[in-house]
């Protein structure tokens, strides 16, 4: 019997919040022995500019965002043996401590899930076309890109 399994991939860009336990349950439905979840959260303090943040608004490039995330997930699936991937990224206005991004990866064994989750997040930060603007006291400031995000991707180049 052909035991070839399909990898379940879910990619969503949405205004609404997400429920980590619901997403974990979906990832658990596959033939899996390990799930690694990453959740990005809005910080209430801009460390680089030493200032507080009232809110943050995210915009993106519809269509290209999904394509870029699909490419990253595909590369990850080619590199590690995984059974499911979920990427959810929020857009619109968010407040400190709100959830921004979810990356969940399921696999038979934990190391593949750890590596894959880390890989997807590193490349998402440098390739997926999202932009953040921070709001404080009715002033807005577009967030500068972080060189350390580019550095983080170097470990995946073979």
Partner 1 sequence: MVIKYFSWIKEHIGKSEELIELPDNVNNISELINYLNNLNDDYKKVFVKKDLIKIAVNKTYCSVETKISNNDEVAFFPPVTGG
Rounded to the nearest whole angstrom, what is the least distance from the CB of residue 40 to partner 1 in the complex? 6
Q: Structure tokens of 45?
A: 């303090």
| Complex with partner 1: residue 72 or 82, whichever CB lies closer | 72
In angstroms, the CA 74 to CA 106 distance is 14
**Binding residues vs partner 1 (CB under 8 A):** 40, 58-61, 63-64, 67, 89, 100-101, 121, 124-133, 142-146, 149
Rounded to the nearest whole angstrom, what is the least distance from the CB of residue 101 to partner 1 in the complex? 5
With b for 16 or more beta-carbon neighbours within 10 A and e for fewer, the 4-18 pattern comes to eeebbbebebeeeeb
In angstroms, the CA 117 to CA 14 distance is 20
Rounded to the nearest whole angstrom, what is the least distance from the CB of residue 5 to partner 1 in the complex? 29
> How open is the CA angle 38-132-64, to the nearest 5 degrees?
80
| Complex with partner 1: residue 34 or 133, whichever CB lies closer | 133
| Complex with partner 1: residue 27 or 60, whichever CB lies closer | 60
Q: Structure tokens of 132?
A: 């953040």
| Complex with partner 1: residue 35 or 94, whichever CB lies closer | 94
Region at 83 (left for phi over 0; alpha for psi -120 to 50; beta for the rest):
alpha
Rounded to the nearest whole angstrom, what is the least distance from the CB of residue 52 to partner 1 in the complex? 18
């Amino acid at each position: 019997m052909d035991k070839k399994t399909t990898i379940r991939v879910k990619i969503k860009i949405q205004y609404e919040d997400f429920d980590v336990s619901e997403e974990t349950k979906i990832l658990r439905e596959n033939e899996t022995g390990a799930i690694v979840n990453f959740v990005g959260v809005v910080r209430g303090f801009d460390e680089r500019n030493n200032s507080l943040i009232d809110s943050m608004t995210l915009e993106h490039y519809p269509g290209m965002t999904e394509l870029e995330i699909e490419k990253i997930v595909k590369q990850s699936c080619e590199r590690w043996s995984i059974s499911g991937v979920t990427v959810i990224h929020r857009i619109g206005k968010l407040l400190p401590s709100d959830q921004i991004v979810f990356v969940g990866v399921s696999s038979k064994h934990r190391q593949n899930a750890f590596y894959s989750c880390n890989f997807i997040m590193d490349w998402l930060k440098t390739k997926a076309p999202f932009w953040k603007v921070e709001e404080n006291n009715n002033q807005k400031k577009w967030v500068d890109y972080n060189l350390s995000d580019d550095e983080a991707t170097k470990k995946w180049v073979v």
